[in-house]
Amino acid sequence: MDDETKTEIETACREVHELLARIPIRTDPNELEFQDGLYFFFEEGETSRHGPTGRVVRVGNHPRSDGGLVRRLRQHYSGNKNGSVFRKLLGGALLRSRDPGSTCLAPGPGKGHWELQDARPCAVCRLVEVEVSSSLRAGFTFRCIEIRDRKERNLFEVMLVATLAQCPVCRPSGGWLGRHAYAGRVRESGLWNVQFSDGRVLSKAALGRFAELVAALMRRGTRPDG
């Protein structure tokens, strides 16, 4: 990455965090007033110079359907590992952080029945599901932005993940749980995302459009806490 590109990515990441800071922070999907958009998770203890009160640790979407934002967030908070990649990553990291030899993770990273998509969970996994739900409610908050057009929403998901993942300023803390995730892209990027980290970053025009979307949300009466 050359210096000019690095500076552009850092500038875009900083502006994204500043724009998101204008939006209310939430803990309950049922509080949302709209059904189409992107969500941004923040995790207790994870900050950066761009996000001094919290850096983004996951960008999410409901890419294949409309009207699914609240439902998707509910799947993360109260669903199961086969219905939420976020839960699968988080639960796997929890297991590996305290017992790398757990039978739920065998025979290797991403291959055990907890981390393998659609694999049948065991009795221990059911306890992990409870722990994941508790961890999300105790240690994570989120912000959402409305984007009604599915094509635009999907494109912004790609660009936002790539921009945040490639920003050299927004690095995970030494004790970040994601360092125990099986996916190298999670460990390296500091995001609970396995897709798009190497993708197309936000252009100046796209960043301007993102600012318009935030402004439109604020005009509807949404205000940040405090």
**In a domain? residue 86:** yes
Peptide bond between residue 109 and the one before it cis (omega within 30 degrees of 0): no
Write down the pLDDT at residue 102. Answer: 96
- Position 67 scores a pLDDT of 97
DSSP state of 38: E
Contacts of 26 (CB under 8 A, 6+ apart): 32, 141, 142, 143, 144
Mean pLDDT computed over 197-215: 96
Q: Under a CB-based contact definition with an 8 Å cutoff, are residues 40 and 144 in contact? A: yes
Does any domain span residue 152? yes
What does the pLDDT look like over 126-152, one tens digit per residue? Answer: 999 999 999 999 999 999 999 999 999
Q: In the prediction, which pLDDT does 2 show?
A: 76
pLDDT at position 221: 67
For 183-194, the pLDDT digits (tens) are 999 999 999 999
Q: For residue range 29-66, what is the model confidence (pLDDT) as tens digits?
A: 999 999 999 999 999 999 999 999 999 999 999 999 99
Order of strands, edge to edge, in the sheet holding 140-146? 56-60, 37-43, 140-146
Residue 118 lies in a domain: yes
pLDDT tens per residue across span 81-109: 999 999 999 999 999 999 999 999 999 99
Q: Is the per-residue pLDDT at 224 higher than 80?
A: no
pLDDT value, residue 193: 98
* Angle separating helix axes 150-166 and 3-20, nearest 10 degrees: 120
Per the CB < 8 A criterion, the answer to whether 29 and 136 are in contact is no
Examine residue 225 and state whether it is found in any structural domain, yes or no. no
pLDDT band at 226 (very low <50, low <70, confident <90, very high): very low
Determine, yes or no, domain membership for 213.
yes
- pTM for the predicted model, two decimal places: 0.95
Q: What one-letter code names the amino acid at 160?
A: L
pLDDT above 70 coverage of the chain, percent: 97
Q: How many C-beta neighbours within 10 Å does residue 47 have? A: 15
Strands of the chain (E only): list them: 37-43, 56-60, 140-146
Instruction: Count how many domains the chain has.
Output: 1
Mean local confidence (pLDDT), 167-190: 96
The answer to the question of residue 70 being in a domain is: yes
Q: Which domain holds residue 177?
A: 3-219
pLDDT for 5 equals 87
